[in-house]
Structure 1
Amino acid sequence: MTGPRVLIVDDQELIRTGFRLILTARGIEVAGEAADGAAAVEAERRLRPDVILMDIRMPGMDGIEAAKRILARSADCRILMLTTFDLDRYVYAALAAGASGFLLKDVTADHLAAAVRLVGTGDALLAPSITRRLVQRFAADGGTPAVHRDLSVLTPRELEVLTLMGRGLSNAELAGSLTLSEATVKTHVARIFSKLDLRDRAQAVVVAYETGLVTPSG
Structure 2
Amino acid sequence: MTPRRRLLIVDDHAGFRRSARILLEAEGFVVVGESADGDSAVALATRLEPDVVLLDIVLPTTDGFDVCARLLRDQAGLRVVLTSTYDVDLLEDRVAASGAAGFIPKAELSGDAIDALIGRPA
Fold shared, TM-score > 0.5 on shorter chain = yes
In the alignment, the residues of structure 2 paired with residue 48 and residue 101 of structure 1 have an alpha-carbon distance, to the nearest angstrom, of: 20
Q: State the Cα deviation string for residues 58-93 of structure 1 (Å, max 9, x = none).
A: 111221111001101113111110111223544531
Scaled by the length of structure 2, the TM-score of the pair is 0.87
The structure whose RCO (Cα within 8 Å, separation 6+) is larger is 2
State the secondary structure of the residue aligned to 1:49: coil
2:115 to 106, 114, 117: 117
Hey, which bits of structure 1, 4+ residues long, moved more than 2 A?
A: 85-92, 115-122
**Alpha carbon RMSD of aligned pairs, Å?**
1.9
Q: Which aligned pairs between 1:85-96 and structure 2 lie closer than 5 A? A: 85-87=86-88, 89-96=90-97
- The match for 2:64 is 63
Deviation at 1:20, TM superposition (A): 0.2
Larger Rg: 1
Q: Which has the higher helix share?
A: 1
Deviation at 1:55, TM superposition (A): 0.2
State the secondary structure of the residue aligned to 2:23: helix
Quick one: structure 1 residues 28 and 19, their matched pair in 2 at CA, closer, same or farther if it must change by over 3 Å?
same
Quick one: structure 1 residues 95 and 89, their matched pair in 2 at CA, closer, same or farther if it must change by over 3 Å?
same
Count of equivalent residues:
119
Q: State the Cα deviation string for residues 19-52 of structure 1 (Å, max 9, x = none).
A: 0000111221101100011111111101111111
In the alignment, the residues of structure 2 paired with residue 86 and residue 31 of structure 1 have an alpha-carbon distance, to the nearest angstrom, of: 28
Structure 2 letter corresponding to 1:47: L
- The match for 2:7 is 6
Q: Which has the higher strand share?
A: 2
Quick one: structure 1 residues 27 and 77, their matched pair in 2 at CA, closer, same or farther if it must change by over 3 Å?
same
Scaled by the length of structure 1, the TM-score of the pair is 0.50
State the secondary structure of the residue aligned to 2:67: helix
